[in-house]
Amino acid sequence: MRKLAAWLSNPLNNWRLREKLFIMFLLGGILPLLFFALYSYTTIRGELSAQMVANTGSTVAQINSNLENKLDTYTKLSATLYLDSTMRAYLTNDYSVDPALFVDAYKYINNSFVNMLTTNPDIHSMTIFINNETLPTDGMFIKRMGENFRNSLAYKSLRDSYGDVRFVTTPPEPDQPPMFTLSRMLNISSMNNPYGVLTINILESDIFRLMEKESEDKTVLIINEEGIVMSARDKTLLNQPIALPDKFPEEMNGQFDSTYNGEMVLVVYNTTKYGWKSVSVIPYSSFLSKANLTAKRILIYAIASLAVMAILIYVTARLFTKRVETLVGMMRRIEKEEFELTDIRPLGRDEIGQIGNALRRMGQRLSTLISDVYMKEIDKREAELNVLQAQINPHFLYNSLASISSLAIRNADPRMNKMVTDLAKFYRISLNKGKNTLSVHEEIQLTRYYVSIQQVRFANLLRVHYDIDESVLPCLIVKLTLQPFVENCINHAIWDHEHGINIIIRACRDGQDILLKVIDDGMGMRMPNGRDLPQSEDTLSGYGVRNVDSRIKLLFGDSYGVSIYSRLGIGTTVTIRIPGK
């Protein structure tokens, strides 16, 4: 619990005092008002939604009942013709022997159809499509089952119907309005060889009349079990999938939220025994407009009240925090090492004034202490650099003089002049008027002079190759960085005095930094601590390496320095990283 309280209070402690006052005002004023507005809106919305669901549910159920009654009526009419054995005999009879017999057939068919149309005025037309080529057609009640009819929705819907009725909706055409068509295969005598197809056409507007009054402020649809629109006010929706992104639940009736034409809607549905659904799509905006208006008014009143309160709080906080801001300004000046605070007027004798006086005295004291510490740190760094520099130069000088002495003792060799000349050039660059840094170009030259001196002694046993990126030559480097590692290669890496050693000196860029590498193919060494620098204090094998690494870190920082990778019998790679500025 304490950790949670500390985690919550830490950000608050870092805010300005004025901001804290505003936050407390927010918590004490805005949040309750917003909660009240949100609760009121949610409550009104919930009640209106529940009322709308109840009303729409009963309406959709009534539409379903009326629709089922109509579909039952049409189904019974089709069953009368489906089971009429006399009509089946007339439709299947062969009239090629006695064509005059079709007159009796048409009398019976016409009387049957006219009686049905008279007793059911909402039926637009009735037709039987036949395959009997011997029976003449009248173009109204009896028609041929031609290619056009076989390609129609009414015929295609009869696939796997086995004599059951099918309903389809035909979209409007230039010569007729949209129709609601019942189709039934006449195959009572043979399931696989129907003798005709019965179609009963009802104006889709007669079906839509069942829900016309309910579709004034909402979208009311009748869809089949496949989600295809069968009846709607907008006739362009007929025979199209219902434009809802969500699937209907498996329940026979209910409601759910969805989107329709880019608008949040409430969908209420009820399923008939035929698998069709009566669907009512009500936009939330249509019945929540009053709730939205009330919520907006509450919010406007709350904002107006909060604005007045905010002005009062701001004035009060400003007067209270003005001197606190002056204290913050004094602290920021101290942070920027501006310790003279005499230009700021006194802040009084209360607690804030006492803090201001203490800050003035502290600034004066800090100025004195920092000045003393800074000078001491400069002296310390300079002494460290001088000591480290002094540790390398005498060592190399003694080795070089020893080499010259050795050659002089053996014989009077003219190469001695070259060694002394290179040695003089070496020290001319290395001393560098007491400076601790020189350019990469000068460091490379320094190394070349050193190698030239050593090649007098080792001749062809020492083979040095240079791979230098010219863009790094002007950059600064600690003096005598490469020479100690070349000397280590000569003194400790040669394992075959007949073949000698190859040394590669490479300088290149690595992002914003510069990498200097000294690579040899000598005997190598064991690295017990991974890539740590050698611990040996014997000559430069450990002492000189750490000396170079320490000088680089003192000058450039701990992110720079020396790293070594070596494998016994293969060779050693020394990598020196310095900034590329």
Beta strands in 413-545 (DSSP E): 437-439, 462-468, 476-478, 501-510, 513-520
Kindly state the average pLDDT of the residues 64-80. 86
- The predicted pLDDT at position 55 comes to 82
Looking at 73-87, 116-130, 377-391, which range is the least confident one?
A: 377-391
pLDDT at 519 over 90: yes
- The predicted pLDDT at position 6 comes to 60
Instruction: Give SS3 for 162.
Output: coil
Condensed to tens digits (0 to 9), the pLDDT of residues 122-179 reads 888 899 998 888 888 888 889 988 888 888 888 888 887 777 888 887 777 777 788 8
pLDDT at 181 over 80: yes
Please report, to the nearest 10 degrees, the dihedral formed by the alpha carbons of residues 60, 66, 71, 77 taken in order: 180
- The predicted pLDDT at position 468 comes to 92
| pTM of the shown model | 0.44
Dist. CA 74–CA 81, nearest whole Å: 11
Please report, to the nearest 10 degrees, the dihedral formed by the alpha carbons of residues 316, 320, 325, 327 taken in order: 180
- The predicted pLDDT at position 472 comes to 92
pLDDT at 71 over 80: yes
Dist. CA 231–CA 221, nearest whole Å: 6
- The predicted pLDDT at position 428 comes to 65
Kindly state the average pLDDT of the residues 180-204. 81
Kindly state the average pLDDT of the residues 382-411. 56
pLDDT at 465 over 90: yes
Dist. CA 338–CA 363, nearest whole Å: 8
pLDDT at 536 over 50: no
Name every residue whose Cβ is closer than 8 Å to that of residue 64 and which is 6 or more positions away in sequence: 270, 271, 272, 278
- The predicted pLDDT at position 573 comes to 93
Distance of CA 93 to the CA centre of its chain: 74
Q: What would the two tokens of residue 86 be?
A: 């006399």
Condensed to tens digits (0 to 9), the pLDDT of residues 198-239 reads 999 888 777 777 777 766 667 888 888 788 888 888 878 887
Q: In Å, what is the CA distance from 78 to each residue of 126, 127, 130, 166, 198?
A: 10, 11, 16, 11, 7
- The predicted pLDDT at position 169 comes to 79
Dist. CA 572–CA 208, nearest whole Å: 93
Strands 263-271 and 476-478: unpaired
Percent with pLDDT over 70 in the chain: 72
- Confidence tier at 302 by pLDDT (50, 70, 90): confident
- The predicted pLDDT at position 540 comes to 41
Name every residue whose Cβ is closer than 8 Å to that of residue 557 and which is 6 or more positions away in sequence: none
Kindly state the average pLDDT of the residues 36-48. 75
Q: Which residue has the tokens 């992002």?
A: 511
pLDDT at 478 over 80: yes
- Confidence tier at 508 by pLDDT (50, 70, 90): very high
Strands 476-478 and 437-439: antiparallel
17 near 352, Cβ under 8 Å? no
Spatial strand order in the sheet of 571-579:
462-468, 501-510, 513-520, 571-579, 561-567
User: What is the number of residues in the chain?
Assistant: 581
pLDDT at 410 over 70: no
- The predicted pLDDT at position 513 comes to 92
Q: What is the mean pLDDT of the chain?
A: 78
- Confidence tier at 120 by pLDDT (50, 70, 90): confident
pLDDT at 42 over 50: yes
3-state secondary structure 519-552: EECCCCCCCCCCCCCCCCCCHHHHHHHHHHHHHH
